[in-house]
């Protein structure tokens, strides 16, 4: 398999599997128990927290382990808002946040909280002027992803931190796609809270963290004494040990990013040469090194993915799929992309283990596999958006 879907998930590193296997077999005690098994588990938890803090540039006490980024995002938004004074009860978040995060913000709005959405420019970058206009003395928390999972576009976290703090608001950053792909340092980022998820950097699924700057008040969303009463519930020790092992084995992220970026550039150049009707979104905007979001004319994404699949490539579409239906991606829609183009979006997300040979292998064969559908598409009517729950036409 040629794995070009690193933004969806990554394979657990061998060191992660080993550390987790050991934790599952020998560290099954409850870290809160006052006996030998509990103390051994507690020691492993303390060590994993110290490693996590060391690699990510924060204090051990600033790490709150969670079940992943979704929970960390929820904890941040609800928790920071819940701890804010009554005079500050407004929330801002970007239009291109992760779908689960936007859904939660919608739930907050439905419960009566004032939630405002910061728009993005046509290239997917944040409209900082709009953010500045929306900020005011009633804003409790601003939430922004560090890098977009669909387009890879990097967001101006430091600038927004400055703007938010000037207005007296806190900044939460969803760094789920950034950690492991580009250098990350909590101490210099400027954010008050940061979410991450281990399976995006070769750790296990179902574990992540919220990094919370010391002294920032947070209302727990699950009650219990664990995680300094900020996230109740018996700790997922094998997962936490796996997360720390994944961070330890990351290596030189900056050098890996250079390799991945060069590969992505080679892929984009060859793809454009082989399939000239291709459009690449945010091509000239700072992006994650391995992410490319493109369309081949307005060929529906499933057609391209099916042909890529025949060549052994695992990739993703940009559309949100639900029960057989397909909706244009909210990210591309927020960038002003028409639905018929957004439904053609294919996301390729490369990682450091990918090679130029793979790129050449795929692009030597893909144009031939798409030739007949591209010829048909010249005469075919443009693709129209499918209602949720409706069937997509069978792939050509």
Q: How far is the CB of 199 from ligand PMP (least distance, A)?
A: 6
Q: Which residue's CB is nearer to ligand PMP, number 44 or number 69?
A: 69
Q: Which of 395, 379, 377 is nearest to 305 (CA)?
A: 395
Q: How far is the CB of 312 from ligand PMP (least distance, A)?
A: 23
Catalytic residues: 321
**Backbone phi, psi, residue 318, to 5°:** -85, -5
What is the layout of strands, in order, in the sheet containing 278-280?
Answer: 278-280, 291-296, 346-349, 316-317
- What string marks each residue from 199 to 218 as x (binds ligand PMP by CB under 6 A) or -? x--------x----------
**Ramachandran area for residue 233 (φ above 0: left; ψ -120 to 50: alpha; else beta):** left
Contact status: 10 vs ligand PMP (CB under 6 A): no
Q: How far is the CB of 205 from ligand PMP (least distance, A)?
A: 7
Give the whole-angstrom CA distance, residue 366 versus residue 294. 14
Count of residues in contact with ligand PMP, rule CB under 6 A: 12
Q: Which residue's CB is nearer to ligand PMP, number 93 or number 383?
A: 93
Region from 62-70, 110-118, 291-299, 367-375 binding ligand PMP, contact rule CB under 6 A: 62-70
Q: Which residue's CB is nearer to ligand PMP, number 70 or number 164?
A: 70
Q: What is the dihedral of CA 3, 6, 11, 14, to 10 degrees?
A: 100
Give the whole-angstrom CA distance, residue 50 versus residue 59. 8
- Judged by CB under 6 A, which of 10, 51, 52, 70 binds ligand PMP? 70
- Judged by CB under 6 A, which of 5, 62, 174, 192 binds ligand PMP? 174
Query: What token pair was written down for 32?
Result: 């809160």
Q: How far is the CB of 243 from ligand PMP (least distance, A)?
A: 11
Q: How far is the CB of 70 from ligand PMP (least distance, A)?
A: 3
Q: Which of 344, 345, 348 is nearest to 299 (CA)?
A: 344
β partners of residue 194: 173, 211
Q: Which of 168, 162, 186, 171 is nearest to 94 (CA)?
A: 171
Q: Which residue's CB is nearer to ligand PMP, number 126 or number 145?
A: 145
Give the whole-angstrom CA distance, residue 2 versus residue 362. 9
CB-based burial, 268-277: b 16+ in 10 Å, e otherwise: bebbeebbee
Closest-approach residue to ligand PMP (CB): 68
Query: What token pair was written down for 380?
Result: 């075919």
Q: How far is the CB of 198 from ligand PMP (least distance, A)?
A: 8
Pairing of strands 346-349, 170-174: unpaired
Q: Which residue's CB is nearer to ligand PMP, number 149 or number 164?
A: 149
Region from 41-49, 171-179, 292-300, 325-333 binding ligand PMP, contact rule CB under 6 A: 171-179
Q: Which residue's CB is nearer to ligand PMP, number 13 or number 363?
A: 13
- Judged by CB under 6 A, which of 19, 23, 69, 246 binds ligand PMP? 69
β partners of residue 126: 120
Interacting residues with ligand PMP between 74 and 113 (CB under 6 A)? 98
Question: Three-state SS for 381?
Answer: coil
Contact status: 145 vs ligand PMP (CB under 6 A): yes
Q: How far is the CB of 362 from ligand PMP (least distance, A)?
A: 24
Region from 36-44, 65-73, 272-280, 302-310 binding ligand PMP, contact rule CB under 6 A: 65-73
What's CA 107's distance to the chain center, in Å? 21
Give the whole-angstrom CA distance, residue 203 versus residue 215. 29
- Judged by CB under 6 A, which of 10, 125, 151, 177 binds ligand PMP? 177
Q: Which residue's CB is nearer to ligand PMP, number 179 or number 299?
A: 179
Residues that bind ligand PMP (CB under 6 A): 68-70, 98, 145, 149, 174, 176-177, 197, 199, 208
């Amino acid at each position: 398999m040629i794995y070009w879907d690193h933004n969806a998930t990554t394979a657990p590193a061998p060191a992660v599997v080993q550390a987790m296997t050991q934790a599952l077999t020998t560290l099954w005690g409850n870290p809160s128990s006052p006996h030998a098994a509990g103390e051994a588990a507690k020691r492993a938890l303390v060590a994993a927290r110290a490693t996590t803090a060391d690699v990510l540039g924060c204090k051990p006490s600033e790490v709150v382990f969670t079940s992943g980024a979704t929970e960390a995002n929820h904890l941040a938004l609800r928790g920071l808002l819940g701890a804010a004074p009554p005079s500050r009860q407004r929330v801002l978040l970007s239009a291109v946040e992760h779908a689960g995060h936007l859904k939660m913000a919608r739930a907050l709005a439905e419960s009566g909280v004032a939630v405002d959405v910061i728009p993005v420019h046509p290239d997917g970058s944040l409209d900082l002027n709009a953010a500045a206009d929306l900020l005011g003395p009633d804003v409790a928390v601003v939430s922004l992803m560090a890098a977009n999972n669909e387009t890879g576009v990097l967001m101006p976290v430091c600038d927004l931190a400055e703007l938010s703090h000037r207005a007296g608001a806190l900044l939460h950053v969803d760094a789920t796609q950034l950690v492991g792909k580009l250098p990350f340092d909590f101490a210099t980022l400027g954010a008050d809270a940061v979410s991450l998820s281990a399976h995006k950097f070769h750790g296990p699924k179902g574990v992540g963290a919220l990094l919370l700057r010391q002294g920032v008040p947070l209302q727990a969303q699950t009650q219990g004494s664990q995680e300094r009463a900020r996230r109740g519930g018996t700790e997922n020790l094998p997962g936490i040990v796996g997360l720390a092992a994944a961070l330890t084995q990351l290596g030189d992220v900056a050098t890996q990013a250079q390799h991945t970026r060069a590969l992505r550039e080679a892929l984009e150049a060859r793809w454009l040469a082989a399939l000239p009707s291709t459009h690449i979104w945010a091509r000239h905007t700072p992006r994650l090194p391995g992410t490319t979001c493109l369309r081949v004319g307005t060929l529906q994404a499933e057609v391209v993915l099916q042909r890529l699949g025949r060549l052994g490539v695992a990739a993703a579409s940009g559309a949100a799929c639900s029960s057989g239906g397909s909706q244009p991606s909210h990210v591309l829609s927020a960038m002003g992309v028409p639905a018929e183009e957004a439904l053609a979006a294919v996301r390729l997300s490369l990682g450091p283990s990918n090679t130029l040979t793979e790129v050449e292998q795929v692009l030597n064969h893909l144009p031939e596999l798409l030739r007949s559908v591209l010829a048909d598409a010249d005469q075919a009517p443009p693709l129209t958006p499918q209602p949720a729950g409706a069937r997509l036409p069978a792939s050509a």
